[in-house]
Structures are given as C-alpha cells and as structure tokens.
Amino acid sequence: MFEDTPEGLNGRLDFLDHFSALADPRQSIKVLYPLEEVLLLTLCAVLCGTDGWVSVALFGRQKIAFLRRFLPFANGTPGHDQLGLIFGALDATGFQNCFIAWTQSLADTIAGVVAIDGKTVRRSFDRTCGKGAVHMISAWSSAQKLVLGARAVHEKSNEITAIPELLDLLAIKGAIVTIDAMGCQRKIAEKVLDKDADYIFGLKGNQGSLRGDVELLFNEQMARGFKDISVSRASSCDAEHGRIETRETFATDDIGWLKERHDWKGLRAIVMIVSSRETAKGVEQERRFYISSLPADATKLAAAIRAHWGVENSLHWVLDVNFRDDDCRIRKKNAPANFSSVKRATINALKKAPGKHSLKSKRLIAAWDEDYLAKILAAL
C-alpha cells in the first residue's frame, strides 16, 4: 500500500509514462529494482542536489518513505554500483528519445528561437576503454526556457550528423533554429526547412569562401555607406558588469550573386553584427557574420541571434555551476550520456516548479521540504 500523497497528487506520475517505451536490458527474472523506480529515484535525487551515484544511493536510503508515496520500492533502492550498471546498460539514444517525448508534452507548441549547441562533459572520458568525453548536443527553447531535446556524441565533429537526428525528433514548425558555425551545413539547412522552420547560422572559417564573400561584401559596402545595396539596420546598447557593449546589425537580401555562387537552400539574407565592448582595459571590436532563411529585417534577426546565447547562459552555465557538470566522474558505458539527460530533465522540472526562486534555491527547498518536491513531480 502506498502512503498518502499530498493534496492534488494521486500517487501516479504522468511523466513516467513517457519512459515506458525505454527498453530494460536486464533479465526480467533478476530485476529487483524496476526501471521506473530507478528513474524516479534518480530524478528526485538530482532535483535535491546530488551529483553522482554515491549521493543518489544515499538519497534513496534516506528518502525511501517519500519515494513510496508514488511507487512500491518493495526491495528498497539500489546501491551506487547497481545504479551505475543500470544507467550504463540503458540505450542512450532510446533514453534521449523518451526525454524528448516528455519534454514536448511540457512545451506544447514550440515558438521563437530554438538554439542548438553542444557541450562536452569534460570528465566523462574513460581511458581504460579508450573512450573520449561525451559531447551533448542540446536544443534549447529561448522563449520557454526548456531543454527540448539532446543527443550524445563522442566527438565534437559528430555534431554535423547528430544535429539532423535531433531535428527529426522535434516539432519546430514556425520556429527559428539558430546554430553556431560548427552546424552551418547545407544538409542541416535543408533539414530545418523540411521541418517548416527557418534558420540563422553563424559563419566562420569552416565555410571557406562563403564566409569570405559575405565579409568582403559587408566590408566594401560599409566603406561606401551602403550606397550600392539595400540594407536594414538596428542597434542596441547594454551597460552591465562594468562594461558597455554596443551592437550594430546590418542585414541585406540583395544577394543574388551570392546565391548563384553558393547553393544554399532557402537562403534569403546575410547579416553582419559589429560589436564594440568598452571596459576599463579599453575598447574591443568584433564583427560576426550570419546567413538566414528569414527576410532581411535587422531588428528581428538581431533579437534572434541575441536569444541564441540563452543556451549558454541558461543551460550550459547552469549545468556547470549548479550541477557541477564538468566535475562529474560518471564514465562507464552509456551512463555519462544518460545522467546528462537526467540533469537536463531536472532543469526542465525546476523551470516548471512553483515559485520565483532561482534554480539553486529550488533545489535546496526540494531537499528540505518533501511536499515541495512532490509538487514539482506533480507538475511534470
């Protein structure tokens, strides 16, 4: 018999239904800890501040009464070695697919900027197996501040193949997909358009002549006051953290010659952002270049490019600072990728949690107040 649950909670957690399709590789006759119990334990433990299998196992022993509000846990909770073995054996792609299905139930219609970027879990390498660190590609909704999905790769260069796989699983119709220069590839542009979305891609040296041609055009026309082409302009200024940053955005769709020379599906505009940063050490200036399938509206393009950095500030920074992602020593088999997916699920859960506290404060409250933790689970 389960214990009584807080008011408004019936003991069944809907989010677990999205993981029911996840294959359990263990022999059923030997299973002491059902997979949904292991998933619930791990999510709750990470919500409350744990950062590895030892602390997850300790949480389970200390909070068994709370966990039994929702599932039987007839055999208690697994030890840290068992947790590592279970998560190491779970298929990482299958886990991530279930995570995406759950996230899309939270997000409803995805609108605005979907920023795609990668982050390496630095200590997830395993020298004994010759395995490099896991690199996680995440899709971040800047408007809803949710992780929409993730894909794990073992080499950063594999972003090029992982991004289309991730896009295939996302419902992004009408969204603006932003990707840095690593993902600036023709096939990825085609994939975005096939999903009825638009793209803004950063340009760097990996695009060779395309970046060079865009830079040459803007530099020449800027020197001539843009007398030869139509251009849309926007500017903004921020003063914070002891610095003043001014950004000027220039966008043009007068690029017929460029489209003839570079065969990019849907290409409509090119963009240059001139950024000037003034600090106590002096003034630094930088020029960044982009291509887009959107019209040459500098204000809209600048806002979308600015929103892209939410994946760094609201996801990657949070993973590093609040979840100690770079210090995590989980390394065996698929465990690093799967535990990284749990962390991203935790961020989504905390974003949905009641109250206006910071994520760090919400984790502390969840650890101290079991009813608050139950409310977080009920909202998923």
Task: Calculate Rg over the CA atoms of the chain.
Answer: 23
Residue 154 is predicted with a pLDDT of: 67
pLDDT digits (tens, 9 = 90+) for 276-301: 888 777 888 899 999 999 999 999 99
Cβ atoms 305, 200 nearer than 8 A: yes
- Cα dist from 191 to 187, 260, 323, whole Å: 6, 21, 32
pLDDT in tens, the chain (380 residues): 344 444 434 456 888 999 999 999 988 888 999 999 999 999 999 999 999 999 999 999 999 999 999 999 999 999 999 999 999 999 999 999 999 988 888 776 777 999 999 888 876 776 676 667 788 899 999 988 999 999 988 666 578 888 999 999 898 999 999 999 888 999 999 999 999 999 999 998 767 799 999 999 999 999 999 999 999 999 998 877 677 889 999 999 999 988 889 989 999 999 999 998 887 778 888 999 999 999 999 999 999 999 998 899 899 999 999 988 877 878 788 999 999 999 999 999 999 898 889 999 999 999 999 999 999 999 88
Task: Name beta bridge partners: 113.
Answer: 176
pLDDT of residue 126: 66
pLDDT of residue 6: 44
Q: Find, among 179, 171, 157, the residue nearest to 101 by Cα.
A: 171
Which domains are present in the chain?
Answer: 14-89+334-378 (no CATH), 97-317 (3.90.350)
- Tokens 């505009």 correspond to 269
Nearest-angstrom CA–CA distance, 194 and 59: 45
Give 313's contacts (C-beta < 8 A, 6+ positions apart): none
What is the C-alpha separation between 251 and 299, in angstroms, rounded?
9
Question: How far apart, in Å, are the Cα atoms of 105 and each of 34, 138, 341?
Answer: 24, 17, 16
* pLDDT given for residue 10 in this prediction: 46
Q: pLDDT value at position 163?
A: 93
In this prediction, residue 156 carries a pLDDT of: 61
Residue 81 CA to residue 113 CA, distance in Å, equals 40
Q: How far apart are CA 39 and CA 204, in angstroms?
A: 41
Please, what sign has the CA dihedral across residues 317, 319, 323, 325?
negative
Q: In this predicted model, what pLDDT tens digit does every residue of 31-62 receive, in sequence order?
A: 999 999 999 999 999 999 999 999 999 999 99
Q: Do the bridges between strand 282-292 and strand 198-203 make them parallel or antiparallel, or are there none, so unpaired? A: antiparallel
**Other Cβ atoms closer than 10 A to 51:** 19
